[in-house]
Amino acid sequence: MPVLEVRDVHKTYTLGKTQIRALRGVSFSVEPGDFLSIVGPSGCGKTTLLNILGSIDEPSAGEVRIDGEPLSGLSDNEEADMRLSRMGFIFQAFNLIPVLNILENVEFPLILAGTKPGERRARARKLVEAVGLADVATHKPDELSGGQRQRVAIARALVNEPEVVIADEPTANLDSETGAMIVELMQRLNSEQKVSFIFSTHDPDIVQYAKRIIRLRDGLITQVEEQRPAGAGPESAGSAGERPAGDRPATEGPGGAGATDEGPR
Amino acid sequence: MILPRIALLNITKHPRRTLLIMFAVMLSVVVMLFLEGMLEGMRRTFFQSTLRDTGHVQLHDEGWEDRINRYSLEHTISRPEELLDHLRSRREVREAEKFLIFGGLLIHEKKNLSAGGVGLEPHTAFYTSVKDGMVEGSLPRGPHDIAVSTRTASLLDVSLGDPLVVLVEDSGGSPYYIEYEVAGLFDSDSSQFDTSWFFLTHAAAEELVYLPGETTEIRVNLTGADLADSVASDLQARWSDRGVSVQTWRDIHGSFIVVFELFDFFMLFIDLLVLIVAASVITNAILMNVFERTREFATMRAIGLKKRAQFGLISLEGATYGAAGTLAGLAVGVPLVLFFAEHGLYMGAAGEAFEMGRRIYFSLTTASVVRSVAAGVLTAVAGSLYAARVLGRRPIVEMFEEAG
């Protein structure tokens, strides 16, 4: 069963008398262990789509299901519980809580979930170590570099063992080398922990790491591609700096513009 | 415990804003304590001093209230000792004394001053401000003693031991005078009172105005002001056939009581004004504090923080500001009120207008402290609740958009 299903999602914003159609019928699904990149130029609807997937925004029409259960109709508290227990978020601007130290930031979702102190501290430590920040665990976010902060955000997103992690341009505020390291870290955690990742980007170097790519343009899916991701397999294992060049098999979505991997609606 | 920790850390993160909010709370608490302390002091001075001098109940001859001349000797009480014997035998009565009030002209050499004369018992329990303000000598004890204020003495150029003539129109309408010796000089802390009254013994006054065995009024202090109505109605029923009219302190000081009641409203209005100003400063500062952290709140909500927890977090910050500001307010306000309770606040003619002397002595009550504490904390909490409500109504996505 797909972790996430997106069925004919539309999103229209009204600005004064002008209606802006940010999404115009988007459908796709995310499978367990997926490493999916949503790609497109600025304003194509990537962030809107991710916000809807993360249940922090509502579609104007259409439906999003998580494990077959529709997100629509959930109360505020149910949505908060669902985001807490089944989703992880990574933001472009890292969005760490500035007054808490690194370990506390990672621990925060576990506190909200009511996890026992001993267990939550152990889990947070394990993840902080996993993202390579054990030596700065007691530092405040403003004492870390951008890459380090994003690694904290990744640890925080994974600490509640979610089914899916949603990352909105996680490398946009980082230099290309650090960005690649972050995506490699996400990729490693994706394969180790079998957590689905959906991330948006417009950086072609980052896109290479995705198993699947959904290309968005003007609120429509124009292409769905599957590829052998960079960093996967024995020939490219390990290094952050090794990024294979661009030619990858691309799969034209059925029906072309506006089509999805589930076919036109 | 993470939310209280976040609240506390955020409070310490912006020391300037925290100080501004705490200062607003502190100032409102100090102003409320000050105003309430002053009002309570005025009220206490009025009840303790003025009531103690005029009594809770006064007895006069019928028609005394309608007299044209305030020093009229037409309305007198005969055989006052009979009434006093009864009054002093009652459990509710603490003190009962007769007073002979008359008008006269004080003359020394070529200077003279028109004033009211009071004939009283040598060891009177009344006129505490005069007794306490005795600068030289004492209240009159002998038939030739007179006590005047230092201000009157200065106007007439007399000193202790000097002769002073009192000229009156006696009860028969004839002019009559007696020369006395200045036996006491006082300063009651009210210049108006000081130049308006002089004191003789009751016996000397009876002789001067030719009212042997009579008096113009009897003043009664009760064990409690609230007993005045029941005692007065009992006395009125008992002595109506003797032509005695009984007034309570409410009848005597009606105008002052109305002023005090108006003062209560005025102070309530001032308190509200203080709270509104404080609330707007606090609310704006907390709003600024909260909206500066929109991204932080949006992130916490996206991660799974519930709206009510966000509400709780912001309210907790407000309550902490309120509690800290209130403590600071108490630390400043209580010593301030206690200082003015000890030394008084110079009010000049304004204080005298309310017959409370030139200085108003404040009073600190538990009720005023509780009210100020409640107002301080609640104002900050209300400000933060408003901010929490405003933020709580925003969808997460809007919060992120706003944060940029």
Pick the residue from chain B with its C-alpha nearest to A48. B397
- pLDDT tier, A231 (very low <50, low <70, confident <90, very high otherwise): low
Q: How large is the C-alpha radius of gyration of chain A? A: 18
Q: What is the mean pLDDT of residues A246-252?
A: 37
pLDDT tens for each residue of B298-339: 999 999 999 999 999 898 888 888 999 999 999 999 999 999
User: Scanning every residue of chain A, which has its alpha carbon at the shortest distance from the alpha carbon of B10?
Assistant: A99
Please tell me which of the candidates A95, A104, A111 has its beta carbon nearest to residue B295. A95
Full DSSP string of B275-334: HHHHHHHHHHHHHHHHHTTHHHHHHHHHHT--HHHHHHHHHHHHHHHHHHHHHHHHHHHH
Question: Closest-CA residue in chain B for A57?
Answer: B397
Given a contact cutoff of 8 angstroms between Cβ atoms, the answer to whether A88 and A166 are in contact is yes
Judged by CB atoms closer than 8 Å, whether chains meet at B396 and A57 is answered as yes
Surface of B (354-393) touching A: CB under 8 A:
none
Is A112 in Cβ contact with B304 (below 8 Å)?
A: yes
Q: How high is the pLDDT of residue A255?
A: 33
Q: Which among A76, A97, A113 has CB closest to B300?
A: A97
Ranked by mean pLDDT, which of A247-251, B43-47, B205-209 comes out on top? B205-209
Tens digit of pLDDT for each residue in B42-91?
Answer: 877 777 766 767 889 999 998 888 887 888 898 999 999 999 999 999 99
Is residue A250 predicted with pLDDT exceeding 60?
no
Predicted confidence (pLDDT) at residue A170 exceeds the cutoff of 50: yes
Please enumerate in sequence order all residues whose Cβ is within 8 A of that of A1, keeping only pairs 6 or more positions apart, or say none.
A67, A68
Closest approach of chain A CAs to the CA of B10, in angstroms? 7
Give CA–CA dist B147/B130, Å, rounded.
10
Write the CA distances from A182 to A97, A131, A173, A227, A243, integer angstroms. Answer: 20, 9, 11, 19, 13
pLDDT digits (tens, 9 = 90+) for A114-159: 999 999 999 999 989 988 889 999 999 999 998 899 889 989 998 9
- What is the model's pLDDT at position B136? 95
Instruction: Give the torsion sign (CA, A220, A222, A228, A232).
Output: negative
Cα–Cα dist A79/B304, whole Å: 8
Residues from chain B contacting residue A93 (CB–CB below 8 Å): 295
Please, how many CA atoms are within 13 Å of residue B133, restricted to the half-sphere of its CB?
22
In the predicted model, what is the mean pLDDT of residues A19-28? 93
Q: Within a 10 A sphere around the Cβ of B89, how many other Cβ atoms?
A: 9
E strand segments, chain A = 4-15, 18-30, 35-39, 61-66, 69-70, 87-90, 164-168, 196-201, 212-217, 220-226
- Considering only alpha carbons, which residue of chain B is nearest residue A113? B304
Contact A99 B395 (CB under 8 A): no
For the stretch B140-173, pLDDT in tens is 999 999 999 999 999 999 999 999 999 999 999 9
Q: Which of B2, B300, B306 lies nearest to residue A77, judging by beta carbons? A: B306
Size of interface A-B (CB pairs under 8 A): 67
Flag if A112 and B303 touch (Cβ within 8 Å).
yes
CA distance A252 to A224: 6
Q: Does A265 have pLDDT greater than 60?
A: no
Q: Residue B22 in 3-state DSSP?
A: helix
pLDDT of residue A264: 33
Residue B141 CA to residue B183 CA, distance in Å, equals: 9
Beta-carbon-side half-sphere exposure of residue B191 (alpha carbons within 13 Å): 9
Q: Which residue has the tokens 């990574």?
A: A90
What pLDDT is stored for residue A245 in this prediction?
35
Distance set, CA B20 to CA B274, B284, B380, B388 (Å): 16, 11, 12, 19
Between vectors from CA B78 to CA B74 and to CA B79, what angle results, nearest 5°? 160
Which run of H or of E encompasses B185?
A: strand B175-186
> Tell me: the pLDDT tens digits for B261-307?
787 788 788 888 888 888 888 888 888 888 888 999 999 999 999 99
What residue in B sits closest to A158 (Cα-Cα)? Answer: B303
Q: pLDDT per residue over A174-198, tens digit each?
A: 888 888 888 888 888 888 888 999 9
Of A80, A93, A99, the CB nearest to B305: A80
How does pLDDT run across B167-184, given as a tens digit for each residue? 999 999 999 999 999 999
Tokens representing residue B134 in the block: 């005795």
- Please give the pLDDT value at position A246: 36
Is A240 a residue whose pLDDT tops 50?
no
Q: Which residues of A touch B7 (CB under 8 A)?
A: none
Q: Is the pLDDT of residue A239 over 60?
A: no
Length of chain B: 404
Contact check, Cβ <8 Å, A99/B300: no
Looking at the partner chain, which of B9, B302, B307 has a beta carbon nearest the beta carbon of A76? B307
How many other C-beta atoms are found inside a 10 Å radius of the C-beta of residue A78? 12
ipTM confidence:
0.83
Nearest residue in B to A94, CA atom: B299
Most B CBs within 10 Å, among A23, A60, A79, A97, to test the B interface: A97
Phi, psi of B264 (to 5 degrees): -60, -45
CA distances from residue B357 to B34, B360, B363 in whole angstroms, order as listed: 19, 7, 15
Mean pLDDT confidence for B126-147: 93
Higher pLDDT, A68 or B254: A68
Q: Which of A58-72, A80-94, B45-59, B170-184 bottoms out in mean pLDDT, i.e. has the lowest?
A: B45-59
Contacts of A91 in chain B (CB under 8 A): 299
pLDDT, residue A238, reads: 35
Indicate if the pLDDT at residue B373 is higher than 70.
yes
Residue A244 predicted with pLDDT over 60: no
Read off the pTM.
0.68
What pLDDT does residue A144 have?
Answer: 93
How many C-beta atoms surround the C-beta of residue B335 within 10 A? Answer: 11
